Amino acid sequence: MSKPNLEEVHRQVVTSGKAFVRIVEGTSVLLDEIGVFWTERLFLRFIRTFYRRRLRSIIAYLPPEISGEILAMAETLQSFPSTGFSSN
């Protein structure tokens, strides 16, 4: 089995990161703007927290140009705490 090239890895990481952003934003919309049952609220909070942490962990290890590409997907940066995200 051949190793994936750098462009393929870059594409996979960016695609995953953008999907994580969508999950965080989607759960935020459901929690903030749409009435849900308490069980759904609990589940959505868990999912949002999990994917925020996962997103933070991948962004921490990526070069700024790749992490910036992922974070550019976010409509608003209010979904993400300012700590831990840097474009430097």
pLDDT per residue as tens digits for the range 25-45 = 889 888 888 778 889 999 999
Alpha helices in the chain (DSSP H): 6-33, 38-61, 64-71
Does 87 fall in a domain? Answer: no
The reply to whether 27 falls in a domain is yes
In a domain, 74, yes or no: yes
C-alpha triplet 21, 68, 47: angle, nearest 5°: 20
Q: Are 84 and 56 in contact (CB under 8 A)?
A: yes
Low-confidence ranges of the chain (pLDDT < 70): 1, 75-88
In a domain, 85, yes or no: no
Q: Which two tokens stand for residue 50?
A: 């999990």
Between CA 87 and CA 66 the distance in angstroms is 9
Give residue 44's pLDDT: 94
Classify burial at 10, counting beta carbons within 10 Å of its beta carbon; exposed 0-12, middle 13-18, buried 19 or more. Answer: middle
Domain count, the chain: 1
In a domain, 83, yes or no: no
Task: Let me know if residue 24 belongs to a domain.
Answer: yes
Does the pTM exceed 0.85? no
Question: So what's the pLDDT on residue 51?
Answer: 94
Q: Measured between alpha carbons, how far is 31 from 39 in angstroms, rounded to an integer?
A: 12
In which domain, by residue range, is 42 found? Answer: 6-78
